[in-house]
A and B are shown apart, each in its own frame.
Chain A
Amino acid sequence: MEILVCVRRVPDTSENEIELEGTDIARDELVYSINEPDNYAVEEALQIRDRVGGTVTVVTVGGEDEEEVLRRELAMGANRAVLLSDECFTGSDGRGIATILKKFVEKEKFDLILTGVQAEDGAAQVGGMLAAMLDLPFASLVNSIEVNGRKLKVSREIEGGNKEVNEIELPCVLSIQTGINEPRYVGMRGIRQVASVPIATLGVSEVAANTDSVGSKAAKVVRIDYFVPVQGHGAEILRGSREENAEKVVELIAARGGLR
């Protein structure tokens, strides 16, 4: 099976200071890593490949810095990495990114396209839009995949913990939820071992995209502000002993119907 996984490099904001500058965060102190749901998607693709054969290609849209995450996924075991990079891609909105990816997918032949459920700084748009543009079936929030020939059984969790199983035919697009698997570890050694593997870089002409349909010019969703919201009121702080607090928490949750 030929599998494509669309990935993104995102800032690791868990422990970092975010200084606000206009409509973006200050980026010089940040460290970046692969978007977590994308990492699960790559792991899932690798596991499927190892079960049924085929190849795994990872792709991302961005600049030179993005090579870091592609290399990481190569170290995980992806067969090929492609960087879609062009000046005119800068400032694309979700639809612009989906357009670039669509053009790339049309150049090649993939049976299965995976994306992470959403980027940590994203809006969970690209997977669905890409499927629609390619006119392919789409299943979102997937947390298990079973391959049966040209058909897949995919499931997702419904609010409240129930599980829904759907059948979907290849080729298709799936957005992958974290927890679908346990991604393997990639250390510095792994990344160093793929340091010399070439990464194909394709520009706007190579993916045959129309420059008017991508980049900031084509963006119809424009960010106008970015800030840390003021902390709200109404939080109740429990100030008793550990045991008292535990009791109180149980009581509060039960009172709101959280415990059956």
Chain B
Amino acid sequence: MVGAFSAISASPLLSPEGLIASIHVIGIILFIYVIVRRMQPLLHAQSDCRFDRPVERLKRVGKYWLGQWRHPRYRFAGLLHVLIFAGFLLLAARAFSLLIKTVAQEFEMPVLSGRSYDILTDYAATAVFACMIVAIVRRVVFKPARYQAPAEFGKWRSVDAVILLVAIAVLMLADSVVAATTLAKNDGSLQAVAMYSLPWLLRQLMQSNTAGGLANANFAGNVLHAVTFYFLLCYRPFGIQFHVETSLFTIYFSKLDRGTVKPVRWGVREENLDQVKTFGVKTFQDFTWKHMLDFYSCADCGRCAEQCPAHAAGRPLAPRSLTIKARDYAFRHYPVFGKFNNSHALVGTIYSEDEIWSCTTCGACEEECPLFVEYIDKIVDLRRGLIDDGKVPQSLQKPLKALESRGNLYGKLEKKRADWAKTGEFKEECPIRILNNGTRAETLYFVDSTISYDERMQAIGRASARILQASGEDFGILGAAEKDSGHEVRRFGEETLFIALRDHNTDAIHRSGVKRIITSDPHAFNALRHDYKDLPPVEHITEAVARAVSERRIHLRPLSDDTRVFAYHDPCYLGRHNQVYEDPRAVLDAIPGLKRVEMKHSKDRSFCCGGGGLMLFYEPKEERRIGVLRVRMAAEAGANAIVTACPFCLANLEDAIKTAGLKEKMTAIDFAELVDQQLVPKIPRKDSEMQYETASVGD
């Protein structure tokens, strides 16, 4: 072999081995330097609590990194990625062994060596090469909409993606050239290659070459492989392919607890919050190191944006842009060469205020991201920063003030909080105890502001109460002692007000002495379950009803109206954030004669109604209403009635039905209202309440 290179082996450094060894040394030094520089912002970032629960984290790595579990949610691109990833894993091992072999020819990779492994990697290289061609054709010819970067990012981003794909294709080609021209160890003949693989094809093409020619090709392949390998290694940290290096860590350190919001500062106890100088994220260093790692890891695939309801409505928000803009900022202000310069306010430069307020925190983006990039915590942190600076839209200031002074969004009197339970006939047929001064009950029905005060939504409260009564629940309410759960207050970044509301409610609940809590509002449900501490167990009404039905404590009569076709709309804070998908569906299916269809976007891919709580007051810049998009989806699925299990969803959907001009064709109803209408009554009711057989659902 050496003989073939005799012409260029004058000095040791210029020898073939010397050349390749110097590529290694330069490449590795460069790579280490780039990574050390890229790590700098993370080292100066806010702390983050991600070193707990290693077993759970490793399981997640197994399923979502090694197992690529989320990728096939997008069938074609996902499977393509799974193939590429599998090929990469196989080839990474061979790449290392090849690189080592160029300097120490006798080296053999333990385990991953031998004939069958060679065949496997030959096919892997072929598959990855083919996938690269397909991916390039997709990007260049078919241009899927979700890859389209907004104009503000320029054209470079899509060119960059193609350059990287081409580089990988070249790497595969080089790898195959080496495989096609490597001599077998023992007899000096060419090493066997896998039938119909890329190395096989190359060997067919090079058959007429002399031994010297093959050796030169082998050398050239090795050099090309080394150069491309280090080019990719050192270039990836400058763009979307950095995830090849970072994804393992991003997934290992990803957020484990659904429905929660990060504390203002990790490691700062709540009672010491007053000493924290500024809240939230204002400049780049205010992000936690994990959030910065997210920025590096995003592959810019656009799945988050495609699932984002705010983006679909034309609001100035796309989760992916949020990440990409932060990454660009990091690259610009923590350059690989030169000084760091990082003290700019992010909102007002890379982000706009409208962008930050546009998010409904529905979680569709986080559910979709194959890399578990987090968005809600970042949005909340950015909002905390805006709140701290007093930059709050005027439309939100009034309800926030009302929450502070009256404990509800509307500024209504505390003493009227239980008025929904005091309407004429309802009061007699279903008297509700207010749990104070020694009045006790087993279960607390936590009402929250909207069902307490919004006239339309009060019907959900009454329906829920009748169901609880029918199912034999010993329950009561807090009345004037209840305040808003603060769920949206927290997610809109007003942590101090949230803490005040939470402490008030926690105290009221403890004083009531209840053993369980049931609520009809998924936002209250999520708050009590995840944002509050040390409360009795909390259930959503859909879970309570599902139990009551399966335990035969309540019975549901057949639906008399057979023209109705229902679609169940998953509220984000019941479904995605708390994984309650089946209970409401099981109850609906337990109503004899009820016809139900699924929308294309359902369960963990449910599409937000437009958002609840403070979001009802926010006046977004948008082209379409989110709710209207949702109502159209129900119509597309063939439904003429939407049933949901959240007062905010109901408000948004009823509103959207009118706006979309579907008033004659579509109705919306709450889960509790529907169940209440179908209850087989245990107690005799007044005549006026007995018209269920003929009443059509949704009236």
Contact = CB atoms under 8 A, between A and B. Distances in A.
Interface of A: 12, 14-17, 29, 31, 33, 76, 182-190, 192-193, 242
B413 A190 contact: no
B412 A188 contact: no
Given A14-B411, A15-B413, 5 more contacts: A31-B406, A182-B394, A187-B400, A187-B497, A189-B388
Contacts of A12: 405, 411
Q: Name the prevailing secondary structure of the B interface residues.
A: helix
B274 A193 contact: yes
Given A190-B390, A192-B274, A16 B413 contact: yes
Nearest to B415: A29
Interface string B625-661: 0000000000000000000000000000000001000
Contact of B500 (A15, A29, A188): A188
B394 A188 contact: no
Nearest to A46: B390
Contacts of A185: 387, 390-392, 396-397, 400
A184 B497 contact: no
B401 A33 contact: yes
Contacts of B402: 15
B496 interface: yes
B598 interface: no
Contacts of A15: 402, 406, 410-413
A182 B389 CA distance: 13
A252 B324 CA distance: 53
B279 A189 contact: yes
Contacts of A192: 274, 496
A159 B282 CA distance: 42
Contacts of A76: 390
A16 B397 CA distance: 18
A176 B402 CA distance: 24
A122 to B, nearest CB: 20
A190 B495 CA distance: 12
B391 A189 contact: no
A182 B397 CA distance: 11
By CB atoms of chain B within 10 A, which of A12, A188, A190 has the most? A188
A188 B413 contact: no
Contacts of A29: 413, 415
Interface in B361-412: 387-392, 394, 396-397, 400-402, 404-406, 410-412
18 contacts: A12-B411, A14-B411, A15-B406, A15-B412, A31-B405, A33-B401, A33-B405, A182-B394, A184-B390, A184-B392, A185-B387, A185-B400, A187-B387, A187-B497, A188-B497, A189-B274, A189-B495, A192-B496
A33 B435 CA distance: 31
Contacts of B670: none
Contacts of B406: 15, 31
Nearest to A193: B274
Contacts, number: 53
Nearest to B489: A187
Nearest to B453: A15
A215 to B, nearest CB: 30
A33 B415 CA distance: 20
B494 interface: yes
B406 to A, nearest CB: 6
Contacts of B401: 33
Contacts of A14: 411
A45 to B, nearest CB: 15
A183 B400 CA distance: 14
A159 B112 CA distance: 85
A12 B406 CA distance: 11
A100 B581 CA distance: 66
Contacts of B397: 183, 185
Given A17-B413, A193-B274, A188 B496 contact: yes
A186 B394 CA distance: 12
Nearest to A31: B405
A196 to B, nearest CB: 11
Nearest to B279: A189
Interface in B491-547: 494-497, 500
A184 B500 contact: no
Contacts of B392: 184-185
A244 B415 CA distance: 39
Nearest to B273: A189
A242 B655 CA distance: 14
Nearest to A186: B390
Interface centre among A76, A185, A242 (most CB of B within 10 A): A185
A77 B412 CA distance: 29
Contacts of B413: 15-17, 29
Interface string B272-292: 001000010000000000000
A187 B401 CA distance: 8
Contacts of B390: 76, 184-186, 190
Nearest to A75: B390
A82 to B, nearest CB: 22
Nearest to B388: A189
Contacts of B388: 189
Contact of B496 (A17, A182, A189): A189
Which 5 A-B pairs have CB atoms at the shortest separation, nearest pair first?
A: A184-B390, A185-B392, A189-B496, A31-B405, A15-B411
A31 to B, nearest CB: 4
Contacts of A184: 389-392
A187 B274 contact: no
Contacts of A16: 413
Contacts of B400: 185, 187
A257 to B, nearest CB: 30
Given A31-B406, A33-B405, A182-B394, A187 B411 contact: no
Contacts of B494: 187
Contacts of A33: 401, 405
Nearest to B500: A188
Nearest to B386: A185
A180 B598 CA distance: 50
A117 to B, nearest CB: 17
